[in-house]
Structure 1
Amino acid sequence: MIGICMESDSYFLWGKIMKRMYGLIAILITFLAVAFFTENREQEADKKVPQVGVLTLMHHPALDEIYRGFKAELKEAGYIDGKNIKIDYQNANNDQSNLRTMATKLTDEQSKVLVGITTPAAQALANSTSKTPIVLGAVTNPKASGLVKNERHPESNVTGVSDAAPIKQQLDLIKEFMPNLKTLGVIYTSSDSSAVSGFHEIEQECKRRKINLKVFSIANSNDLNQVSEQMFRQVDAAIVPTDNTIAGAMETLVKNGNAAKKPIFPAAATMVKQGGLATYSVNQYKLGQMTGKMTIAILKGKRVSSLPVERVQKGEPVVNLKEAKELNLQAPQRFLKECQRNGVVYR
């Protein structure tokens, strides 16, 4: 009898152990099934949410304003990053090899639209794909940069927005500030195609106006201190075309200009805020909004060929009164009133 009871107890305990094991196995199977279906649902959701890849050369205030305007325009149209759209933003930190790697990454991720902020970023994207639509988010001369052949009727996968500075307005402004100007200096980065394009336009316009122009170029930001010191010893004022390298090192240029008591007339409003004297600037935030509008049009099914390259025809007046005081210069009343009415006054 004792043997029978012990055997019954063993079967009973073994049954309880097996029951628990089956329970644990059932829980594990349920957990794995839930995880599997959740992952599948997330993957399906990711497939449905379009991705926009954004590539920029570097950080500086003007480029950051373009990206800010771009995101704001998408949000205004109902495209919320992380909800119904994914924005993959890549910053190359002014490194050409980073541009190539990041452009390939964005292309391989099968972004529905690619956005290139600056000429080098747009060129890197164009070299990585001939199929995915590319929107230029501020490229000074898309045709000269080899990005489009026909700005009115794009024939490839590239269109976008040009940030070409209003050079004629800027030169008129310099003469208004400095009617007795004898020599104007221009400084630009020789490796930046946008800066080179802007320099050539300044050169041609100065020849037409018979303005004595002295030319100074840098290879990179390390050259700016020495070259700008040399420039300010030889000129009465300096003009800067659209130039990302100089925009990113504006403090150095301003330091040397102030030391020599010579004004700087830069291309962008953000560079005036950093210590330039005045300009007629293409609004960087609005450029971003224009880039956003074009991206939205493509997301909604518009073909690149139906979207001509867009340009801002007139610049907005900007003046830095603190800088004018530093240089003992008086802002022309006409221009100051225009800034107060339709532009920006930094004090």
Structure 2
Amino acid sequence: MKRMIAFITALVVFLGIAFFKTGSSTTSTKSTNKIPTVGILQLQTHPALDAIHRGIIAGLKENGYVPGKTVKIDYQNAQGDQSNLKSMSQKFISEDADETIGIATPAAQSLVSAAGKTTPVILAGITDPAGSGLIKSDAHPGANVTGTSGESPLKSHLDLLRKLVPKAKTIGIIYTTSDHGGEYNAKKFAKICKQEGVKYKMFTIANTNDMQTVAEKMASEVDAVYAPQDNGVASAMKTLVSVTNKAKVPVIPAVDTMVKAGGLATLSVDQYQLGKLTGEMAAKVLKGKSTSNYPIKVISKGKMTINLSEAKKLGITFPKSVIKEAKTKGVIYK
């Protein structure tokens, strides 16, 4: 009888241990099969950044990460508020996002600060990421950060401006003081102007509220305006153009969406394709690729984009070569 009781006791203990291990194994499998979470932080709403966001989603999809099915997307828009950037970045980290993506330099900087050296951060079309303090170098980003950079073809922008406004003696260059990318592009463009013997004047805004006053002063002092890839200037583009149009001063911006908002023409890096490339890189990192030695990918070739209605308002005729290039390889806004 004692032997029987001992046997039954041993059997119960064995079955209990087996059940516990099976339960643990099931739990482990579920954890392994958990779909990853990607936090996407966008500085604010405007067409160029929105295009990057759409591209990111497309790039993830094409690489097997379908929102709601094989990946969870936590999308946050800070609407230009620095405190929102900080709280949203911290939210991603506290909720254990597998990866974060920053659209615009301030968003990327906030994510890098919150992530420390652990959670991967993917840069989405950031101008001068090394100069922004986000990485060590384009070739060897280091730590947990990599991504894409959109480098404006600045020399081509100057050549286009001189072709469309050949009588322009002084060019106004405007940027936002708090936008590193905007300042970087504006000062680099000014350096090219100096090298080419072109006279220029620099103008700055602290935020979009300054645009009306600064634009009025600038329009009275220059013959044409260059608007670099700058989030503040892009957001206030309609205000800028409303002022410069009255003075018959054309604006050559850096991005196609800024041409649509009233700029005359540009050679623009495709923001959607920039986002798509970012999504592809983000997918590879989710699959295990290390960020530290994953080089920054740069797109710098622009497509011709022109605004026919704006040219008509300003009394400017596009050269046939420019129209042909826009028709075959670019975009024409009517």
1:223-276 CA deviation, whole Å, 9 max, x = no partner?
000100110111111001111111112110111111111111111100101110
Q: Is the Cα contact below 8 Å between 1:316 and 1:342 reproduced in 2? A: yes
Does residue 1:97 correspond to 2:83, yes or no? yes
Indicate the residue corresponding to 1:14 in structure 2.
none
2:41 to 39, 55, 70: 55
> Within 5 A, what are the aligned runs for 1:63-74?
63-74=49-60
- State the distance in 2 between where 1:279 and 1:300 align: 37
Greater CA drift, 285-294 or 155-164: 155-164
Does residue 1:187 correspond to 2:182, yes or no? no
The amino acid across from 1:119 in the alignment is: T
Indicate the residue corresponding to 1:312 in structure 2.
299
TM-score, with length taken from structure 2? 0.89
Q: Is the Cα contact below 8 Å between 1:164 and 1:242 reproduced in 2? A: no
1:208 to 195, 206, 214: 195
The amino acid across from 1:288 in the alignment is: G
Indicate the residue corresponding to 1:29 in structure 2.
none
- State the distance in 1 between where 2:76 and 2:267 align: 30
Greater CA drift, 67-76 or 52-61: 67-76
Q: Is the Cα contact below 8 Å between 1:183 and 1:235 reproduced in 2? A: yes
Which segments of structure 1 move beyond 6 Å, counting only runs of 4 or more? none
1:276 to 263, 267, 281: 263
The amino acid across from 1:93 in the alignment is: Q
Indicate the residue corresponding to 2:314 in structure 1.
327
2:94 to 108, 133, 138: 108
Greater CA drift, 78-87 or 271-280: 78-87
The amino acid across from 2:135 in the alignment is: V
> Within 5 A, what are the aligned runs for 1:36-185?
44=30, 48-129=34-115, 130-185=117-172
Distance change >3 Å, CA 322–CA 45, structure 1 → 2: farther
The amino acid across from 1:97 in the alignment is: S
1:233 to 216, 220, 228: 220
Q: Is the Cα contact below 8 Å between 1:117 and 1:136 reproduced in 2? A: yes
Shift of 1:76: 2.2
Greater CA drift, 297-306 or 216-225: 297-306
Shift of 1:307: 1.5
How many pairs does the alignment contain?
A: 308
The answer for unaligned runs of 5 or more in structure 2 is: 1-25
The amino acid across from 1:135 in the alignment is: I
- State the distance in 2 between where 1:232 and 1:333 align: 28
SS of residue paired to 1:319: strand
Shift of 1:113: 1.2
The amino acid across from 2:40 in the alignment is: V
TM-score, with length taken from structure 1? 0.86
1:56-104 CA deviation, whole Å, 9 max, x = no partner?
1100000000001111122222322111110101111101111011000
Identity level (%): 47
The answer for unaligned runs of 5 or more in structure 1 is: 1-39
Greater CA drift, 158-167 or 62-71: 158-167
- State the distance in 1 between where 2:186 and 2:308 align: 26
Larger Rg over CA atoms: 1
